[in-house]
Amino acid sequence: MMTESVLYSTLLLTLLGGIAAAVLYFVSKKFYVYENPMITEIEDILPAANCAGCGSPGCKSFAEKLVNTEDISDLFCPVGGNDVMNLVAEVLGKEVTEKDPTVAVMRCQGSCDVRPKTTEYQGPKSCAISAMIYSGETDCQYGCLGDGDCVIACKFDAMYMDKNTNLPVIITDKCTSCGACVEACPRDIIEMRPKNKKDLKIFVSCMNEDKGGIAKRACEVACIGCSKCDDICPKDAITMVNNLAYIDPVLCTLCRKCVPVCPTNSIIETNFPPPKVKKVKTNVKEKDEPVKSKTNA
Amino acid sequence: MLKTFPKGGVHPHENKLTSAKAIKKMPVPKVVYVPISQHIGIPSIIVVERKNKVAIGQVIAKSGGYVSSNIHSPVAGTVTKLDKIIDSSGYKKQCIVIRTDAKNSSNFDEIKFPLKEEILLTPSEILQQITKCGIVGLGGATFPSHVKLILKEDNKIDFLIINGVECEPYLTADHRLMLEKADEIIVGIKILMFALHIKKVVIGIENNKKDAIALFKKLLKNEDRIKIAALKVKYPQGSEKQLVKAILKREVPKNGLPLDVGVIVHNVGTVFAIYEAIQYNKPLIERVVTVTGKKLKNPSNYWVKIGTPIKDLIEEVGGVPEETRKIVNGGPMMGKAIKNTDMPVTKGTSGILVISKEEASRKEVENCIRCGECIFVCPMGLEPFLLMNLCERGMYKRASIEDIMTCIECGSCSYVCPSNRPLLDYIRFGKNIARKLETVKN
Amino acid sequence: MNTPSIIISGSPHIHSDRTSKKIMYDVVLALIPAFLVSLYIFGIGALIVTSVAVFSCLLFEYLIQKYLLKTEVTISDGSALITGILLAFNLPSGFPIWMIIVGSLVAIGIAKFSFGGLGFNIFNPALVGRVFLLISFPVQMTTWPTSIDNQTTIFDAVTGATPLGIIKEGLMFGETMTEISTKIPSTLDMLLGITGGSLGEMSSLALIFGGLFLILRKVVTWHIPVVMILTIVVITGIFWRIDPQQYANPLIHILSGGAILGAFFMATDLVTSPMTKKGMVIFAVGIGLITVVIRLFGAYPEGVSFAIIIMNAFVPLINKYFKPRRFGAKIKSKII
């Protein structure tokens, strides 16, 4: 009879369901793992980017570290920044250090037109592998290889490869300074430099440590180590090491004196207004202009 | 029945274009560039300064540690600068640049060296002399030879194997050396036997050098202690682990050395250099180099002074041919492609190969079709397709577990892959990272 | 900007002549004798089924790669061509065209591309297509036009059954093997192709020629075909010895059905078979065993396709546990 079969199947399935529920309940109670509820609270505060910029493999793991470590003053989440770290400090009652925001900066301008290719590379398209095999397709063994390991490493879509210049471009608004691109570059071309409100930056966009003549032959915009920038810097922020100038971002006051003296235009300034054109003093007075005296009211 | 190693190996075309050409002397170059790191181990320490005058054979860089080697001036001349010159990888390395004084540079060249059979030194003096003369393995590995000869108390060596295999296509340096200096090589072997107290020697020669095999068999007719083993022509027969397995059927344990199975292996070129060092006090300042290529006008073998720029060699054989696309330092399977020919010949340069358009370009990479060819040809029993997959995904620890460090980088896997996958590039990369992880762990 | 003339790459700087295209086209060549036999036996029917299968496989691969996945189109590498031919060889002549197209879509779209494309699929695509069609359209998949009767047209087909089908049915109705053997073709007929079945199951001789060609060209090794056939022979032989009236003799088992086609062309598919010799032997034994179990004790008369697909699922496990011996590792045992 149909009603019998419906009745029996319903009863049987209900019984099975009940047994399964009971088993699941006992197992969940017996194998319960205690987890500090603060870990979940901290995890909610963290930005959930899972980028490993803090040094831990993911946000949950960083939350565990924050809760379980006594002194968290040297732990920092670069994506969340000072806001997130201050919140964490409030919740946990521990002290955190404030860090200045930084942004990734790409220090090579060797595009195809200024840094000609002298060989052709055939092999896996990965900067790390081609750097291991040889010094690169151009005569500069310090410059960007153009295969995009940094772009692939960026999880925040803050980098892309410019097809015309074959160099990576960093979108500073999206950069969270997690440090993945710095890790990925086999030549340490990308550096973290301080970020200010208007994103003003001055830096030497070159890594070339060869002597001037060799560097210039390999790339037109290479730093040739002439020291003109070092001589003119009023704050002694520029150091010359191995024929390469380096501008210390902490000492630099962004006065821009070094930019025009560089003979190869190797120093880059970003987001500054164009330099004011100085009026040239002449000895000839304009005849029609009345001489203005200081005592005029 | 020719002996061979049982697992793996490939048969590239032999292309021994220069096997019938006697070794000629390369004219002394005007400038030599002597790198301070021509061997495995610590780079040597420079002991000369700019404007110093040096005599031929004088020490210009001292050994930098235990696993290191002395470097001697190949010419008489003046040190012009201590500069960084690009090496085969395109990176700049420290070199000593000497301007040659042609008059006095023929000290060792012109004097005829009669065969000297009598061994006048004691075993420890032999060892000292080999160390002093900067002898390194000339088969391509450039391992300092004296380190191989320093035996510990519990090392029991019963066999010395001489590697005359030269399995790489195109190269004929060892072949010609065996044909032209057979007597000297035999004396060199006896020197080693005396120094190491070894009573049994086997010379391994591939079967495509039948004249060398016949010559050595004739010369060693009355010598019971030294035997010749004719080996099947298969790459990489010249790899020392495969050589020991083929001749003696002993397998060197994983991450071990031939020393662990009671064997020492030396290349014929190294043995000849040892003969010259012991009998004539001549340091390692020149070696045989094969300059070859299908489109070259006159491919040949040369005695070349260390530090000679490679472009001089290519000029000597008729210049760079029209459609050259690749110039390789070494053989086509394990050699390094070089960026320009200004770089010098070093102790490890066994050949210069000029490859033209048709052979030079790599074809497009396709998906792995799991054909298993790479597993079949790997002489070390590895799975190259798996190692490449792991390295692509950054799983280096797992690659270590899969024995990536035992790879001898012979290139057989990339050679056969029907999908043109760059297996060896990824495996080398993985080895580098795995090695760094090991040192960090320790 | 002129391209520089010197090339740099890692070693090795030479490459053997083997390419995957050559391997694929060698397989196509090996299948030609069997295709010619099927043309002779089934005439236009064979031509239509094969060309529709091939064309739709190539078309679907092109469409999926170009418009769905937006990657490079690789239809000229020969893999879709082989899938098309092998799928056709598993179908009876006179199979409706729209069903062939559905089968091709399943084979290429589901069995190949949903796993990642060439080299990533776990199951043999042609067999997945065939099994899908068998389960979805069982009647049309088991309607076999007989051979010699229909040389010129498919429309007036006189349908018959395959030898294995006749045997299964006969045994179900309690007939003995001696009675059944009068109804099925002789072993010589089966060798040459005067039998019923799908396009590819006709001439065992032509298939064996193709298989030997593949082994000589080093596209496949002898391990899988020989061990699989040997397993089938041994197991059916044991049962035949026990009761010759209930079980067909091993020769009939080998020469009928998809055993030879499966052994040389389906089980040996490079992507879906194990990569070491030891693994291949285990794989082949498994296929032989499952085939015999299905044939003798299962509901279907033919078990090769199911057996191969089931063993395909074990291949990653086989690859994991049957690794080649590392040089210098302690020698445990010497196999092959």
- Work out the pLDDT band at A283, boundaries 50, 70, 90: low
The structure's pTM equals 0.89
pLDDT score of A282: 59
Q: Which residues of C30-58 are buried (b: 16+ CB within 10 A; e: fewer)?
A: bbebbbebbbebbbbbbebbbebbbebbb
Of the partner residues C11, C22, C74, the one whose CB lies closest to the CB of residue B333: C11
pLDDT score of B152: 72
Query: A184 and A249, same structural domain?
Result: yes
Nearest Cα neighbor of C327 from B260, B165, B256, B422 is B256
Q: Does C3 touch chain A (CB under 8 A)?
A: yes
Asked if pLDDT for residue C153 goes beyond 70, the answer is: no
CB contact (8 A) between residue A119 and residue C1: no
Q: What is the DSSP letter of C56?
A: H
Query: A169 and A187, same structural domain?
Result: yes
For chain B, give every residue range classified as CATH 3.40.50.11540: 123-280
Q: How close is the nearest chain A Cα to the Cα of B325, in Å?
A: 9
| A67 belongs to a structural domain | yes
Residues of C in contact with A118 (CB under 8 A): 4, 6
Asked if pLDDT for residue A297 goes beyond 60, the answer is: no
Residues of B in contact with C7 (CB under 8 A): 325-326, 337, 360-361
- Work out the pLDDT band at C155, boundaries 50, 70, 90: very low
The 10s digit of each residue's pLDDT in C233-248 is 999 999 999 988 888 8
Residue B414 CB-half CA count within 13 A? 28
Whose tokens are 């001037």? That residue is A212
Per-residue pLDDT of chain B (442 residues; tens, 9 = 90+): 789 999 999 999 999 999 999 999 888 899 999 999 999 889 999 999 999 999 888 999 999 888 999 999 999 899 999 988 888 778 888 999 999 987 766 656 555 678 888 888 888 899 999 999 999 999 888 999 988 888 776 778 899 999 999 999 999 999 999 999 999 999 999 999 999 889 999 999 999 999 999 999 999 999 899 999 999 999 999 999 999 999 999 999 988 889 889 999 999 999 999 999 999 889 999 999 999 999 898 999 999 999 999 999 999 998 888 888 899 999 999 999 998 888 999 999 999 999 988 888 899 999 999 999 999 999 999 999 999 999 999 999 999 999 999 999 999 999 999 999 999 999 999 999 999 998 888 7
Residue among A118, A127, A141, A145 with most chain B CBs within 10 A, to mutate? A141
Instruction: List the structure tokens of B86.
Output: 């690009």
- Work out the pLDDT band at C148, boundaries 50, 70, 90: low
Instruction: List the structure tokens of A265.
Output: 């235009």
SS3 content of chain A, % helix, strand, coil (to 5): 30, 15, 55
Asked if pLDDT for residue C94 goes beyond 80, the answer is: yes
The 10s digit of each residue's pLDDT in A47-80 is 888 888 888 888 888 888 888 888 888 888 888 8
CA quadruple C77, C80, C86, C88: dihedral sign: negative
Neighbours of chain A (3+ CB pairs under 8 A): B, C
Amino acid at residue number A293: S
Instruction: List the structure tokens of C22.
Output: 């050559």
CB contact (8 A) between residue B426 and residue A128: no
pLDDT score of C334: 40
Of the partner residues B340, B362, B429, the one whose CB lies closest to the CB of residue A132: B429
User: Could you list the residue range(s) of the whole structural domain that residue A72 is in?
Assistant: 37-92
pLDDT score of C146: 64
Asked if pLDDT for residue C185 goes beyond 80, the answer is: no
Pairing of strands B71-72, A159-162: unpaired
CB contact (8 A) between residue C323 and residue B383: yes
CB contact (8 A) between residue A133 and residue B89: yes
Q: What value of ipTM does the predicted structure carry?
A: 0.89
- Work out the pLDDT band at A89, boundaries 50, 70, 90: confident
CATH superfamily name and code, B123-280: NADH-ubiquinone oxidoreductase 51kDa subunit (3.40.50.11540)
Mean pLDDT, all residues of chain C: 86
Could you count the other beta carbons within 10 Å of the beta carbon of residue A116?
17
| A175 belongs to a structural domain | yes
Of the partner residues A129, A132, A134, the one whose CB lies closest to the CB of residue B339: A134
Q: Which residues of C180-191 are buried (b: 16+ CB within 10 A; e: fewer)?
A: bbeebbebeebb
Counted residue by residue, chain B has a size of: 442
Residue among A120, A141, A147 with most chain C CBs within 10 A, to mutate? A120
B203: helix, strand or coil: strand
Q: Does B388 touch chain C (CB under 8 A)?
A: no
Question: Integer distance in angstroms from the first to the last C-alpha of chain C?
Answer: 56
Query: Which residues 6+ apart lie within 8 Å of A97 measured at CB?
Result: A73, A74, A76
Domain of residue A49, CATH code: 1.10.15.40
Query: A181 and A69, same structural domain?
Result: no
For B420, the closest chain A residue by CA position comes to A123
Of the partner residues B256, B339, B403, the one whose CB lies closest to the CB of residue C326: B403
Amino acid at residue number C267: A
pLDDT score of A280: 61
pLDDT score of A294: 46
Rounded Cα distance between B424 and B332, Å, is 14
Asked if pLDDT for residue C202 goes beyond 80, the answer is: no
Pairing of strands B286-292, B351-356: parallel
Rounded Cα distance between C15 and B332, Å, is 10
| A55 belongs to a structural domain | yes
The 10s digit of each residue's pLDDT in A92-129 is 888 888 888 889 999 999 998 899 998 899 999 999 99
pLDDT score of C203: 80
Nearest Cα neighbor of A252 from A267, A274, A273 is A267
Instruction: List the structure tokens of A213.
Output: 């003549």
Q: How close is the nearest chain C Cα to the Cα of A210, in Å?
A: 22
E strand spans, B42-182: 45-46, 53-54, 59-62, 71-72, 77-86, 92-100, 159-164
Q: How many CB pairs under 8 A join B and C?
A: 149
Q: Does A164 touch chain C (CB under 8 A)?
A: no
Instruction: List the structure tokens of C124.
Output: 């043999």
Least confident range of B297-301, C85-89, C159-163: C159-163
Instruction: List the structure tokens of C90.
Output: 């598993």
Of the partner residues C1, C4, C10, the one whose CB lies closest to the CB of residue A119: C4
Q: How many CB pairs under 8 A join A and B?
A: 38
Asked if pLDDT for residue C171 goes beyond 90, the answer is: no
Q: Which residue intervals of chain A are DSSP H helices?
A: 2-30, 37-45, 59-68, 81-92, 127-133, 149-153, 180-184, 212-218, 228-232, 258-261
Q: Does A213 touch chain B (CB under 8 A)?
A: no
- Work out the pLDDT band at C1, boundaries 50, 70, 90: very low
Q: Does A143 touch chain B (CB under 8 A)?
A: no
The 10s digit of each residue's pLDDT in A186-205 is 999 999 998 888 888 899 99
pLDDT score of B23: 92
Residue among C5, C9, C15 with most chain A CBs within 10 A, to mutate? C9
CB contact (8 A) between residue C6 and residue A119: yes
Q: How many CB pairs under 8 A join A and C?
A: 32
The 10s digit of each residue's pLDDT in C268-282 is 999 999 999 999 999
Asked if pLDDT for residue A241 goes beyond 80, the answer is: yes
Rounded Cα distance between C332 and B422, Å, is 32
Query: A153 and A266, same structural domain?
Result: yes
Residue B441 CB-half CA count within 13 A? 7
Q: Does A125 touch chain C (CB under 8 A)?
A: no
CB contact (8 A) between residue A124 and residue B339: no
Name which residue leads in pLDDT, B231 or C143: B231
Mean pLDDT, all residues of chain A: 86
Angle at C325 between CA C324 and CA C327, to 5 degrees: 125
Asked if pLDDT for residue A84 goes beyond 70, the answer is: yes
Rounded Cα distance between B278 and B123, Å, is 11
Q: Does A137 touch chain C (CB under 8 A)?
A: yes
H/E stretch holding C31 reads helix C20-42
Q: In chain A, how many domains are there?
A: 2
Q: Does C6 touch chain B (CB under 8 A)?
A: yes
Under the phi-then-psi rule, with left for phi > 0, alpha for psi from -120 to 50, and beta for the rest, what region is A67?
Answer: alpha
Of the partner residues B169, B369, B422, the one whose CB lies closest to the CB of residue C20: B369
Nearest Cα neighbor of A211 from A197, A199, A222 is A222
Nearest Cα neighbor of B326 from C15, A124, A148, A126 is C15
pLDDT score of C151: 54
Pairing of strands B226-231, B263-267: unpaired
Query: A125 and A61, same structural domain?
Result: no
Of the partner residues C9, C13, C119, the one whose CB lies closest to the CB of residue B369: C119
Q: How close is the nearest chain C Cα to the Cα of B99, in Å?
A: 29
For C2, the closest chain A residue by CA position comes to A117
Stretch A271-286: mean pLDDT: 67
Query: A192 and A72, same structural domain?
Result: no
Q: Does C189 touch chain B (CB under 8 A)?
A: no
| A133 belongs to a structural domain | yes
Rounded Cα distance between B128 and B142, Å, is 18
